[in-house]
């Protein structure tokens, strides 16, 4: 598969048999984009689900991410090899560095060199970054060159719309993958999203996903329920009007969910 599907299945917080069952259900429903990470400790379960599936490898787009404690030259490539072993894959389609290293323990030039080395070794088709600010993205592009970074995966949801980052990524020809698109369920209780959902006879969650698709974003909601996984797929058929988009734009309130103490200074 060459192009990343706009809808992926996120696997954050899914472990062991739950992760296996959820990915299996998603693949059976028609998902072809699965997102995991070393930090999630579920690559083995995800890999089993992929291996046990009847879906051809060529139809799948698999993403994983290298955690910061593996950024050194000694650990980076071995950690990717371990991920591939767990996933039972010869390569992934997209390999990301999960967060920028704000500690200074490993210079960006050094860990991005290892990321590129993983690509050059054939461990991944594409490479990218996650949780990078605009300045960090520019620095990464200056290190790797134009057109090398495939995506910047950042939090995007109706209450943290990240428009400065989205606009900058577009300028730099970098795709945006939005994680936590449903704001850990907060979208279900919002009156604006409820009103649009009622008008369109869909759910507020579907409206939140349709809003991302309308912006040309990739999004990776997570769910363990078959009905929710199907609902997320169906959201791709929803068309929002300009009025809907303007209404959702008013929900921006910088309500960031993923903000650990090692996070960069956000845009």
CA distances to 61, 159, 207, 232, 250 from 44, rounded to whole Å, are: 16, 33, 33, 25, 41
Mean pLDDT of 239-251: 98
CA distances to 5, 30, 100, 201 from 33, rounded to whole Å, are: 6, 9, 24, 27
Mean pLDDT of 219-235: 97
- Percent of the chain residues topping a pLDDT of 90: 99
Bridging pattern class, strands 92-97 and 61-66: parallel
- Please answer whether residues 111 and 71 qualify as being in contact, where contact means their C-beta atoms are separated by less than 8 angstroms: yes
Q: 42-89 pLDDT, tens per residue?
A: 999 999 999 999 999 999 999 999 999 999 999 999 999 999 999 999
Give the CATH number of domain 9-182+217-222: 3.20.20.100
pLDDT (0 to 100) of residue 2: 63
pLDDT (0 to 100) of residue 109: 98
pLDDT reading at 1 higher than 80: no
Q: Which residues of 103-122 are buried (b: 16+ CB within 10 A; e: fewer)?
A: eeebebebbbebbeebbeee
pLDDT reading at 123 higher than 60: yes
pLDDT (0 to 100) of residue 105: 94
CA distances to 36, 47, 78, 250 from 226, rounded to whole Å, are: 19, 19, 35, 31
Of 40, 111, 150, 179, the active-site residue reads 40
Say how far apart CA 218 and CA 3 lie, in whole Å: 11
Whether 40 is catalytic is yes
pLDDT reading at 220 higher than 90: yes
Mean pLDDT of 89-94: 98
pLDDT reading at 198 higher than 90: yes
Mean pLDDT of 219-233: 97
Say how far apart CA 165 and CA 133 lie, in whole Å: 7
168 is known to lie in a ligand binding site? no
pLDDT reading at 156 higher than 60: yes
Tell me the domain boundaries of the chain: 9-182+217-222
Confidence grade of residue 237 (pLDDT, cut at 50, 70, 90): very high
Mean pLDDT of 225-236: 97
How far is CA 23 from its chain centroid?
A: 15
pLDDT (0 to 100) of residue 264: 96
Q: 103-118 pLDDT, tens per residue?
A: 999 999 999 999 999 9
Mean pLDDT of 196-201: 98
């Amino acid at each position: 598969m060459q192009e990343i599907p706009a809808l992926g299945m996120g696997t954050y917080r899914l472990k062991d048999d739950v992760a296996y069952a959820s990915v299996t259900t998603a693949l059976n429903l028609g998902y072809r984009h699965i997102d995991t990470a070393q930090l999630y400790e579920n690559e083995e379960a995800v890999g089993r689900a992929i291996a046990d599936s009847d879906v051809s490898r060529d139809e799948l787009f698999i993403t994983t991410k290298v955690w910061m404690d593996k950024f050194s030259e000694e650990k980076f490539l071995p950690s990717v090899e371990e991920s591939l072993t767990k996933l039972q894959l010869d390569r992934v389609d997209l390999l990301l560095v999960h967060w920028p290293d704000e500690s200074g323990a490993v210079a960006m030039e050094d860990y991005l060199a290892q990321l590129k080395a993983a690509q050059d070794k054939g461990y991944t088709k594409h490479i990218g970054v996650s949780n990078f600010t605009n300045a960090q993205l520019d620095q990464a592009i200056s290190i790797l060159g134009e057109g090398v970074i495939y995506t910047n995966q950042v939090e995007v949801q109706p209450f943290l719309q990240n428009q400065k980052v989205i606009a900058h990524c577009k300028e730099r020809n970098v795709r945006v993958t939005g994680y936590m698109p449903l704001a850990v369920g907060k979208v279900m209780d919002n009156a604006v999203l409820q009103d649009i959902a009622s008008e369109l006879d869909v759910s507020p969650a579907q409206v939140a996903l349709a809003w991302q698709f309308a912006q040309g974003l990739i999004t990776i909601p997570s769910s363990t329920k078959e009905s929710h996984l199907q609902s997320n797929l169906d959201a791709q058929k929803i068309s929002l009007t300009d009025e809907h988009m303007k209404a959702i734009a008013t929900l921006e309130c910088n309500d960031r969910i993923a903000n650990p103490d090692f996070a960069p200074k956000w845009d």
